[in-house]
Amino acid sequence: MKAYVYGAGGAAIAEVDKPAPTGPQVLIRVRACGLNRADLGMTKGHAHGAAGGVGAVLGMEWAGEIEAVGDEAHGCEVGQRVMGSGVAAFGEYTLADHGRVFPIPDSVSFEEAATLPVALTTMHNALIAVGRLRPGETVLIQGASSGVGLMALQIAKLKGARFVIGSSTDKGRRDRLSEFGADLAIDSSAEGWVDQVLAATGGAGVDLIIDQISGKVANQNLAAARVRGRIVNIGRLGGTHADFNFDLHAARRIDYVGVTFRSRSIEEIREIFRQVRGDIWPAVESRKLRLPIDRVFPFSEIGEAFAHMEANRHLGKIVVTF
């Protein structure tokens, strides 16, 4: 089968063996894939947790049909349309754990479905399970114009946040954040954004910050959070480093938690998928929670798709189809 593989000369389409499911795995005939920033790093040879490196089939988000099931893959049927996340997504076929798939609602296309799994699981976990968002609270999403950021705005509103702030350093994308639930859009690279947040919250600061930027904004986040606020740091591939104001962290008594899928067990990931299904699935089925598709590329042009991502001019998801 054809797949997008990182080799000694970089990432390229190559022929690889078709995988076969065992135990809790299902075999997916891939119809569409969503591109993520972590994928871009892996095309340059970076590891993402245990994934990546020479010989690795790249990709982590897909939609397609189940072609075969392992003998421990419960609740999955051959022919079922599903979407999910994992490793080795950029191929005509991929393997997935049976607990790491969602059924695709009838009204959702493969292209749309391929935009959803990473955003839904990442941001439901960050906002609800870890961030403990409660109705009536205020929220700041750092990096809100990314695909997962746009989903975070929507989930926050769906779950009753009173006031939602989103950040983007690009004016065009910042101007569109209100379409996805932002009550205020800020530029976190500009001077004075903390003052904007404090003014919007009556001087108190926000209850919850979902941080996809970290680094240089870490101390500013501390100043923008209320006393006894929460900050959920979503790790970035490659990492960012900066000084940290431990005294301000202590003075504001902030609950600061880091999250990533890279170090989670399969049991933890299955539970995250179960929580999404049990909490916000009606909003997925009704398409109340959805992401814009910036552009669709055929698999033969996957290199051009990544060049489009690296140009950083898009809003929403870039999708590759088979």
Mean pLDDT of all residues in the chain? 95
Residue-level pLDDT at 288: 97
- The C-alpha atoms of residue 254 and residue 86 are separated, in whole angstroms, by 32
Q: Is the pLDDT of residue 240 over 70?
A: no
Residue-level pLDDT at 41: 86
* Least confident among 57-61, 131-135, 200-204, 240-244: 240-244
pTM above 0.75, yes or no: yes
Mean pLDDT to the nearest integer, 27-46? 92
pLDDT tens digits, one per residue of 126-166:
999 999 999 999 999 999 999 999 999 999 999 999 999 99
Residue-level pLDDT at 245: 94
pLDDT tens digits, one per residue of 78-128:
999 999 999 999 999 999 999 999 999 999 999 999 999 999 999 999 999
Beta bridge partners of 215: none
pLDDT tens digits, one per residue of 1-14:
999 999 989 999 99
Q: Is 14 exposed, middle or buried (CB count within 10 Å of its CB: 0-12, 13-18, 19+)?
A: middle
Report which residue type is found at 151.
M
Q: Is 75 exposed, middle or buried (CB count within 10 Å of its CB: 0-12, 13-18, 19+)?
A: exposed
Q: Is the pLDDT of residue 39 over 70?
A: yes
Residue-level pLDDT at 53: 80
Q: Give the residue carrying structure tokens 């970035």.
A: 236
Residue-level pLDDT at 162: 98
Asked if 62 and 24 count as a contact pair (C-beta separation under 8 A), the reply is no
- The C-alpha atoms of residue 167 and residue 144 are separated, in whole angstroms, by 5
Mean pLDDT to the nearest integer, 51-74? 93
Q: Is the pLDDT of residue 238 over 60?
A: no
**Percent of the chain having pLDDT more than 90?**
89
Q: Is the pLDDT of residue 235 over 80?
A: no
Residue-level pLDDT at 54: 87
- The C-alpha atoms of residue 183 and residue 178 are separated, in whole angstroms, by 6
